[in-house]
């Protein structure tokens, strides 16, 4: 049975061993979706919900609103993502050109779709965008090998329309989750 405090302690002990050790812990956690929900609560609202944050480890409960999309971004640290409800689509990107050439800075390089009980691992150099393609909330545990909120190496995000690189903006990310949540809530009230 998933226990939040034990999961945090296990991740703290394993982070020095690297991404593979963290992956095993996340995989074990999301194979028990009911246990995760019992510990973290039934997902009811889109948002970024920190569980633990330190210089070498961040654990976040992400709740994605229906049809929500987050622009391409990097982490500059490894990431392990485990889905315990709904569906998460990741599009992976690679760097090309640069803004000085008036060219997009990235291009699509692949994709993956995950459902409950599935885990994705991403190296520190991965660029991805995320979408919830279904009409209900998607819930996921994300574990990062560093301080997600105050990374030592500045992170980037890429404009959805131009694909130009910009400095990462956590306030913009939180606003994206809030706005998607408002649209979801409005649909629930309207009976959609």
Pairwise CA distance, residues 14 & 22, whole Å: 6
Residue 186 has pLDDT above 90, yes or no: no
User: Regarding beta strands 138-144 and 165-167, do their DSSP bridges make them parallel or antiparallel, or are they unpaired?
Assistant: unpaired
Question: Which H or E run includes 191?
Answer: none
Instruction: Kindly report, residue by residue over 102-161, the tens digit of the pLDDT.
Output: 666 899 999 999 999 999 999 999 999 999 999 999 999 999 999 999 999 999 999 988
Structural domain for 91, as ranges: 4-190
Rounded CA-CA distance 89/122 in Å is: 14
The model's pLDDT over 23-44, given as tens digits with 9 standing for 90+, comes to 999 999 999 999 999 999 999 9
Task: Kindly state the tokens that stand for 144.
Answer: 């990062």
* Domains held by the chain: number: 1
Query: What beta strand segments (E) does the chain contain?
Result: 47-53, 58-64, 69-74, 79-85, 88-95, 106-114, 119-122, 127-131, 138-144, 156-158, 165-167
Task: Specify which of 59-63, 177-181, 182-186 reaches the highest per-range mean pLDDT.
Answer: 59-63
Q: What count of residues does the chain have?
A: 192
- For the beta carbon of residue 108, count every other beta carbon within 10 angstroms: 12
Looking at per-residue confidence, does 99 or 158 come out higher?
Answer: 158
CATH number at residue 122: 2.60.120.10
């Amino acid at each position: 049975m998933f226990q939040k405090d034990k999961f945090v302690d296990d991740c703290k002990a394993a982070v020095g061993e690297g991404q593979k050790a963290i992956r095993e812990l996340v995989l074990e956690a999301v194979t028990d979706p009911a246990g995760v929900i019992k510990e973290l609560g039934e997902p009811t609202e889109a948002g970024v919900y920190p569980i633990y944050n330190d210089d070498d480890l961040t654990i976040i409960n992400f709740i994605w609103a229906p049809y929500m999309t987050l622009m391409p971004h990097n982490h500059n640290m490894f990431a392990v993502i485990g889905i315990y409800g709904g569906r998460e689509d990741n599009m992976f990107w690679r760097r090309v050109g640069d803004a000085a050439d008036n060219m997009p800075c990235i291009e699509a390089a692949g994709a993956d779709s995950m459902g409950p009980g599935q885990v994705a691992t991403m190296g520190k150099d991965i660029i991805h965008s995320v979408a919830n393609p279904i009409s209900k909330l998607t819930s996921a545990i994300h574990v990062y090998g560093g301080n997600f909120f105050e990374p030592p190496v500045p992170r980037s995000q890429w404009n959805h329309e131009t694909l130009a690189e910009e400095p990462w903006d956590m306030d913009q990310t939180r606003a994206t989750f809030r706005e998607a949540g408002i649209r979801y809530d409005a649909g629930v009230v309207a009976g959609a």
